[in-house]
Amino acid sequence: MEVTLDTSPASETGGGVWRSPTGKPLCVESGAKLEPLEIAYKTYGRLNETKSNAVLVCHALTGDQHAGSINPITGRPGWWDRVIGPGRPLDPDRYFVICTNVIGGCMGSTGPATINPKTGQPYGLSFPVITIADMVRAQAMLIEALGIETLLAVVGGSMGGMQVLQWAADYPEKLFSAVCIAAAPRHSAQNIAFHEVGRQAIMADPDWRGGAYEAAVARPEKGLAVARMAAHITYLSANALQRKFGRELQRDGLSWGFDADFQVESYLRHQGASFVDRFDANSYLYITRAVDYFDLAARHGGALAEAFRKARGVRFCVLSFSSDWLYPTAESRDIVRALNAAGCRASFAEIETDKGHDAFFLDEPQLDAALRGFFASTAQARGL
């Protein structure tokens, strides 16, 4: 299927929804086929004549394709607009930035809420279980449709960083460089446990209806809100929570009940309530399961270095945060050691911050400087 590229000024955005051609389904690891496949994406800037300035940005667990532009659901700026924009590390006057909504998502890409062409009803739990590799395989289909043979860079944080690693393992010939931020080569038992708490909260909500809540015109909002609250705690650090909230009360005096007495309680409730307005419960189940299944070394006999053996021509940058306990620096060091063992070129930096895992979303000058420097040197090395 031909894709029409945006021809607007470099600072403006393009994109849309790409639909796979008939007869070219996405074959997922669980054995199912998704046809047709739809991928919602946004672009920033313009692809140059040699198609050598494309950068793929991969979003985190509950992100979407609106990385550098206003989100139409929330009305808020893009989740990475401090990185994507004029004068920023990913300047659309220099780079053609692409961001897709992952399959399994709920912002336009094929997922549980999509209508199953065989039944005329939303997939719901009949949607196949997917993996990070499936997400990347779908992205690769879009990149091919855009006529891009080699990406200047693929970059992402958290689950986005996992996609970066999967790209390097599965499509090294399509990459010039890769930037992995606050991620890990496999999901830990602790992180799987947190995800399971969230999934059980959703499935325990009576309005989940066995995943068929759309047909019942219901939404498991309470369960999804609790799932978000539990997960959000892992995105911060103990120091950040103490600095922001401490034991400050929401109002004068205690309620002597179970209202939100403490500011931190009110904050988490707000996070949960706002989340249900923009995210789908079944998508949360599927995407968290994909992250739980992620283990890059598993298909290489447990040797992580073997996953990167064919990526020796790729320039890597690995970044971590000192206060990140979701994906601690030790796991980033494991990635770097594996890259070194595979003979890959890799730079690494641990950024000192008390902002926890979510630091890559926040105002963090050291991160901005690292990204700006790496992208600039990469562009220079490719003759841009």
Residue type, 104: G
Which of these is catalytic: 134, 170, 292, 324?
324
One-letter-per-residue 3-state SS of 129-151: CCCHHHHHHHHHHHHHHCCCCCE
Which of these is catalytic: 20, 52, 357, 358?
357
Asked whether the beta carbons of 331 and 359 are under 8 A apart, the reply is no
Q: How far apart are CA 99 and CA 137, in angstroms?
A: 14
Decide if 334 is catalytic: no
Per the structure block, which two tokens stand in for 279?
A: 């995210």
DSSP H helices, 246-280, are: 263-275
Which of these is catalytic: 158, 283, 323, 332?
158
Q: How far apart are CA 2 and CA 361, in angstroms?
A: 34
Decide if 158 is catalytic: yes
Give the C-alpha distances (Å, rounded to integers) separating 178 from 158, 253, 369. Answer: 14, 52, 16
Q: How far apart are the first and last CA of the chain?
A: 29
Closest CA to 40 of 13, 80, 10: 13
Closest CA to 70 of 96, 44, 49: 44
**Strand partners for 295:** 186
Closest CA to 250 of 268, 265, 229: 265
Q: Which positions are catalytic?
A: 158, 324, 357
